[in-house]
Amino acid sequence: MIRTLIVDDEIKSQTTLNKLISKYCPEVEVIGFANNVKTAIEAINKLTPDLVFLDISMPDGDGFDVLKGVKNRNFELIFTTAFNDYAIKAFQYSALHYLLKPINYLELQDAVNRYQENSKDIDLNEKIRVLYDSLNNQYQKIILPTLNGLRVIELNQIIRCEADGSYTNFHLEDDSVIMVSRVLSSFEELLPPNLFSRVHSKHLVNLNYISQYIKGRGGRIVLLNDKEVEVSESRKKDFLKKLKELAHSLANGKR
């Protein structure tokens, strides 16, 4: 059984989530509840749960205050929030699970399943470090769900991302390739637009790895590893604009 604590300042939300877990997640055992930062820290330290459903917004602080206050982070997290834009990108960077209220039972089951698949891959402290960096707009690392579990990747190691059906292949600086079970468009939205450019329906390229642009109807990019990537005509204008902006920022010593 997955020993679980529910942290939420609204009794109604606690009750609803508890009922959903009881009905749809039989492998999860709810061992306690907390309704603010103080009681959450006390409950986590005392009960040592495997998994915590953690509300972001509470009367005396937020979920991040809870994380700062606990003695040991020997548990996994599923954040819950009523705000569909709050910290979502940071959660995606750090591979931390989140559920939007009102919670859908299918999304709840999916979050629990992903917890079971990936809970032991990366220490929670590493996820929290990536989360905090991302919340502060310091996008240096991303945690990716690969076929062999979660992996922490530095953004400056990514040369390009290539679409492969419903998967994305990450081509890294060390010549390794890792496959991620998410479509390329999701990474186009996630990775910093000043650093990465979607140059083709199949290719998202790190601008810092471009050594040459060869003119043409769309043109071609030569990368530092001598690989070539086609630029589609429809994406040429936006790509050249980003390349020009990067060159300007480098010339002015901003990067």
CB contact at 8 A, 7 and 18: no
pLDDT surpasses 90 at 253: no
pLDDT at 248 over 80: no
The CATH number of the domain holding residue 69 is 3.40.50.2300
Q: Is residue 141 part of a domain?
A: no
pTM: 0.81
Q: Which of 51-55, 118-122, 134-138, 181-185 has the lowest mean pLDDT?
A: 118-122
Q: Can you say whether residue 141 is alpha, beta or left, with left for phi > 0 and alpha for psi between -120 and 50 degrees?
A: beta
In a domain, 24, yes or no: yes
* Domain-located, residue 213: yes
Same domain, 99 and 151: no
Q: Is residue 53 part of a domain?
A: yes
Q: Are residues 96 and 182 in the same domain?
A: no
Domain coverage including residue 54: 2-134
Largest CA distance in the chain: 65
Residues 127, 241 within the same domain: no
Q: Which of these three, 134, 164, 195, is where a domain ends?
A: 134
Dihedral sign (CA 43, 46, 52, 56): positive
Span 132-166, pLDDT tens digits: 888 887 889 999 988 788 899 999 999 999 999 99
Do 122 and 194 belong to one domain?
A: no
pLDDT of residue 201: 96
Query: Which range (14-28, 132-146, 151-165, 216-230) has the least confidence?
Result: 132-146
CB atoms within 10 A of CB 240: 15
